Chains A and B, each alone.
Chain A
Amino acid sequence: NAGVTQTPKFQVLKTGQSMTLQCAQDMNHEYMSWYRQDPGMGLRLIHYSVGAGITDQGEVPNGYNVSRSTTEDFPLRLLSAAPSQTSVYFCASSYSRDNKNIQYFGAGTRLSVL
């Protein structure tokens, strides 16, 4: 069972470069989201989607774009990378059970922007 798959696992970018972090889930979950995790800051929500074709901003959306053309895929685009975007990025998918959303996370992408 693949669950939530993120690629790449590691990436180094130069300031100003753009790239896309890939996220795919095979559990047919409605909800998907992107978080960044920085030391001492916890997980912060970047963007999320409640279904194909529907996306919305989270707590820290600036500098990132998302799209959700299928239930399975939720890529995160960095438009022009900045050193402040150096972080660990986690994609998650979730489903609702008893009014509770249970989150399943990918293994993460470690991004360094020089």
Chain B
Amino acid sequence: RKEVEQDPGPFNVPEGATVAFNCTYSNSASQSFFWYRQDCRKEPKLLMSVYSSGNEDGRFTAQLNRASQYISLLIRDSKLSDSATYLCVVERGGSYIPTFGRGTSLIVHP
């Protein structure tokens, strides 16, 4: 089993839709969780960290479920500009080394 798994998609949604992605991780010692966004042929950029109690940043909501070992990203009122690949990142406690998922592709169409 891969350490971090994501559905590669693509998720094809109309503007204004709500879409959610999940990411599962296998190492129960994982302590830090993130979502990064990567546009086509560009570098990844931090979208948001994921906190134990869940957190929201505008139209984006991230949740952590430690019991089932997954994190989620919810995007409300999708915009064309949200089209990108969303990377799940997990970091073990006490370790610098982050592990990246392969990413989930989102395409928002008019």
- A residues with CB within 8 A of B: 31, 35, 40-45, 48, 50, 58, 90, 94, 99-108
Contact = CB atoms under 8 A, between A and B. Distances in A.
B95 to A, nearest CB: 9
B102 interface: yes
Contact of B87 (A43, A45, A99): A43
Interface of B: 8, 31-32, 34, 36, 42-46, 49, 87, 89, 91, 96-98, 100-103
Contacts, number: 50
Given A45-B98, A107-B43, 12 more contacts: A31-B96, A42-B100, A44-B100, A48-B96, A50-B96, A100-B32, A100-B34, A100-B49, A101-B96, A102-B49, A103-B89, A105-B45
Q: Interface SS of chain A: helix, strand, loop or mixed?
A: strand
Q: Interface SS of chain B: helix, strand, loop or mixed?
A: strand
Given A48-B97, A90-B44, A40 B102 contact: yes
Contacts of A41: 102
A108 B97 contact: no
Contacts of A48: 96-97
The residue in A44, A104, A105 that gathers the most chain B C-beta atoms within 10 A of its C-beta is A105
B100 A108 contact: no
A99 B30 CA distance: 12
Contacts of B42: 107-108
